[in-house]
């Protein structure tokens, strides 16, 4: 399953219709969650939520205006959160189990096989439900003529700070056969260096957010200056100047996010093309960002984005990717295996037992590669358990990314 994204062009009236469809989808999703919470004893399942969509359509006229399969897709989003909560409870995940929450600011609406129609040239799409979206032009470099309509499983409209986008989930096998390179590599992710491998190669951390932080802070101050507390208390709409400043601020954040994504994508592609086996750390990024001293730097690095692309390209080009436990990879000596305690500020590994001296990150990369080679043939098909992180299911996330899970410890 691959996802092609196009920017859509239309009139302001059509954009407002898209917003109305997104709000309706959010309403149905929240109503389904409330229905599940009120009827836990009756064992509400996925099919019961789909049937409940027809009840909502009969009760609320604006819900009836949305396509029936789009309503079912909203119910499936709700059930996806419920099923994930049940799964975490069965696995006895430590900490919070992820109880489903009501959505406050959805940014997308998803259609299945009906409610939309592509033009003959595949350069425009028409939505035929009663929301009045109509025909939208598709702007992008992808060509949908290579695929038949039956391969397009989902169509999603996404709202972002710089406009509206259409995503097409296409059922196709994108694997490509390549010649083996006879190379293996272990990768250590860090803050000083974005990656360091066992061969001594390092890639500096780009720090896109920190480089743009001055502009972001200025845009945030301009947004705050135009915010009216009196209107907020009276529950009145803010001024147009405030909304313009808010959009400018959001676009700057979107630019930083895209820079980070493109950097991780190109670097992961280069690593996969140069090696047959890639071993990397199975980092719990969600837990690491709880460190208030390093949270900004860790979020700016984009480790999880890099890992997602690494696993995707590894599957696409038939390369082996292995996530290994990160415990003591920086402390253990890569030469003799003895544990050498050192703080995070100590950047050079010096072993008092064998005299081995190496950069801290490179020493960790050697240990990571050794662990990865030791687990080859004993791990599952994918490092993340049931599904690889690049896998796009029938239901996508609200930001357009694929459903993703953290890898369990090996």
Establish how many alpha carbons lie within 13 A of residue 370's alpha carbon, considering only the half-sphere containing its beta carbon: 15
pLDDT of residue 377: 57
CATH 3.30.420 residue ranges of the chain are 184-375
Q: How confident is the model at residue 389 (pLDDT cuts 50, 70, 90)?
A: very low
116, pLDDT greater than 60: yes
Average pLDDT for 104-127? 90
For the ranges 20-34, 158-172, 188-202, 329-343, the lowest mean pLDDT is seen at: 329-343
List, for residues 186-211, the tens digit of each pLDDT value.
888 888 888 888 888 888 888 999 99
- The average confidence (pLDDT) of the chain is 85
Please write the tens of the pLDDT for every residue from 321-373.
888 888 888 888 877 877 878 888 788 888 878 877 878 888 888 888 888 88
Q: Which CATH architecture has domain 184-375?
A: 2-Layer Sandwich (3.30)
CA-based R_g, the chain, Å = 24
> How much is the average pLDDT of 271-282?
89
In degrees and rounded to multiples of 5, residue 87 shows phi and psi of: -65, -40
pLDDT-above-70 percentage for the chain: 91
Q: For 73-82, b where at least 16 C-beta lie within 10 A, e where not — what string?
A: bbbbbbbbbb
Q: Which two tokens stand for residue 233?
A: 């208390």
Tell me the pTM.
Answer: 0.82
- Separation CA 202–CA 144 (nearest Å): 39
């Amino acid at each position: 399953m691959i996802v092609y994204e196009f920017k859509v062009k239309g009139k302001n009236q059509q954009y407002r219709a898209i917003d109305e469809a997104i709000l309706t989808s959010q309403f149905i999703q929240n109503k389904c969650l409330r229905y599940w919470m009120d009827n836990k004893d009756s064992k509400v399942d996925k099919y019961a939520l789909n049937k409940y969509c027809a009840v909502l359509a009969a009760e609320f006229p604006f819900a009836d205006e949305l396509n029936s399969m789009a309503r079912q897709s909203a119910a499936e989003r709700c059930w996806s959160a419920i099923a994930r909560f049940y799964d975490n409870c069965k696995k006895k995940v430590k900490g919070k189990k992820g109880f489903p929450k009501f959505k406050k600011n959805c940014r997308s609406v998803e259609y299945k096989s009906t409610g939309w129609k592509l033009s003959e040239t595949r350069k425009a799409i028409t939505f035929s439900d009663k929301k009045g979206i109509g025909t939208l032009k598709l702007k992008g470099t992808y060509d949908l003529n290579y695929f038949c309509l039956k391969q397009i499983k989902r169509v999603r409209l996404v709202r972002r700070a710089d406009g509206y986008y259409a995503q097409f989930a296409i059922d196709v096998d994108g694997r490509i056969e390549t010649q083996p390179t006879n190379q293996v590599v272990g990768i250590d992710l860090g803050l000083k260096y974005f990656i360091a491998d066992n061969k001594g190669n390092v890639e500096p951390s780009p720090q896109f957010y920190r480089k743009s932080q001055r502009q972001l802070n200025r845009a945030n101050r301009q947004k705050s200056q135009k915010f009216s507390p009196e209107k907020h208390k009276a529950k009145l709409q803010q001024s147009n100047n405030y909304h313009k400043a808010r959009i400018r601020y959001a676009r700057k954040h979107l630019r930083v996010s895209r820079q980070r994504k493109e950097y991780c994508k190109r670097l992961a592609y280069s690593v996969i093309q140069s090696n047959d086996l890639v071993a990397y750390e199975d980092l719990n990024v969600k837990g690491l960002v709880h460190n208030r001293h390093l949270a900004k730097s860790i979020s700016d690095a984009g480790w999880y984005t890099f890992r997602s692309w690494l696993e995707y390209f590894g599957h696409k080009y038939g390369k082996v990717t292995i996530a290994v436990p990160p415990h003591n990879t920086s402390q253990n000596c890569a030469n003799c295996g003895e544990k050498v305690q050192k703080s995070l500020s100590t950047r050079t590994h010096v072993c008092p037992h064998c005299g081995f001296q190496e950069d801290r990150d490179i020493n960790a990369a050697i240990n990571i590669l050794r662990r990865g080679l030791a687990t080859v043939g004993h791990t599952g098909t994918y490092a993340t358990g049931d599904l690889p992180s690049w896998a796009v299911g029938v239901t996508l996330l609200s930001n357009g990314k694929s459903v993703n899970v953290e890898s369990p410890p090996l």
